[in-house]
Structure 1
C-alpha cells in the first residue's frame, strides 16, 4: 500500500478562526503548528499570489512534524501572466525558495488559467526547463536528520532525487492524448480536479496521484456529502494500491474543507 496524504488547500483563513477550526485567540503564527496536529500535508496556495521569502519556507518546514509534506502552488506570474513562456528565471526564483522546505517539499502544482487553450509546444518547452534547469536532489545524501525513519524507503528515495510536478488544466482542449503522453514522458501528473465549473478527466500520467476537490456543486464552498466522500475513499484506496495519493480540499467556505478532509480520513481508515 502506497501513502495517502489528505489535507486542505491553504491553512490560514479568517473564517476558520474563532472556533470554526482554530481555537479562539490562537495566534496566526501558531496556526500551521495546530493544523499539523490533524493533517500530515497542506497545499500552500499563498505562493500563487505572492512568492514568500526563503525564510518563510524554512520556518514552515521547521515548524511541522518530521513526516509533514507541503505541496506548493506555483506563482501565477508563471502560469497566468507568462503562460509558461520565457519564465526560466521566474521558475528558478521560485524553486530556489521552495527547496528550503527540504525533505518536506512534495508535489509542485501549476494551475493554468481557464481561458487559455492548449499549446503543446509551450508545455513541452516548459517541461524541458523543469527537467534540466535546476539540479534535482543529486547530492551524495542529506544528513540523517532529514530522513525520518517513519517514512517508507521508496518515498525517501523519491524525495531525495526527484521533484514531483502537477498540472491542473481548466480549458477542455488540454485533455488530449498528445498532452497525456507529454506528461508521461516527463513524469508529470495530470491534476484530477473535481469542481462545479471545470472539466474532470481521470488520466494517471505519473507515479503518484494528485486530487483537488473544489466543491462539486458550488465552487470553493459546497460541502461534500457522506456518499460523495465514501465514493472518493473507495477510489483513493484503489489508486493507493500502486501510487502515492495526495488529496486537497479547496472548499474553504464555512470550514467545509477541514470537515470533509477529517471525514475522508475516517472513511479511508475504516
Structure 2
C-alpha cells in the first residue's frame, strides 16, 4: 500500500525517541546526520521527545508536526532531558539554507515532501513563528543561520535549544576518506548526484568535491555524473565543476533507468575519461 506524504503532520518525534534512548544509555556526544527527511517541524518533534513542551497562547500543547508551529506561543523547557544540554551535539548538514524565507526549509524542500503552494506558505509562516519562540526561550535567533533549514528545520531547533553545532556533512565525509590526498595529483575527478540541480552546489557532495579539487596542486577537472542534470553549465562552472552528464541515454521510465544504472554509469564514465585523458 502506498504511503502518501503528510507535509503538515509529519514529525521528527521518532528520531527524538532514539536520541532519548542514547542519552539514557549515557551518550555524551551525538552526531546526527540530517537530510532526506519528510518533515518540516523545525525539530519540534525531537525536542518533544526530549521533554520540551511547545505551548499555545492558552498554555496547552500544540499539535505535532509543522501544522502545530503556526499556533506555538511559548516553550516550556523545564522537562528537558537532564543530559541533553550536557552532551556535545554535532549536526551533519548538506545544505546552507536558512530556516525561513525564499531559500528556507519550507519553500525549497516543502514541495519535495508533498507540500502544496498553500502548505508551503503555512509551513514557512509556522517556522517563522517557531523561530521567534525559540529566540524568546533561548536568546538564539536561527532565522538566517546558514544550514538551519536542514531536514525541515531540525538544525535550527536543535541549535537554539541544545547548542548543537552545524557541520557540513560532505566535509565530514571528505575528511574521513582523505579526499584531499586522493585528488592531490589526480588528472580527473568524477563525482555523482541523483539530481544535479541548484541544491547540489549549496554544500552537497558535488560542491564539496569541487572545492577540495580546486585547492589541489593539479587543479584537476571535476565532472559530475548524475541521474538528471538540471543545473545550467554556467552555474556549474561558477561552482568549480567542469561539466555534468546525465545517465539517461534517451527517453525511459525511472524504473528502466534504475535497472540500467550500472551499465550507463560505466559507459558515461568511460566516455568522459576518454575525452579528458585522450
Question: TM tier, shorter chain?
Answer: under 0.3
The higher radius of gyration belongs to 2
Greater RCO (CA < 8 Å, at least 6 residues apart): 1
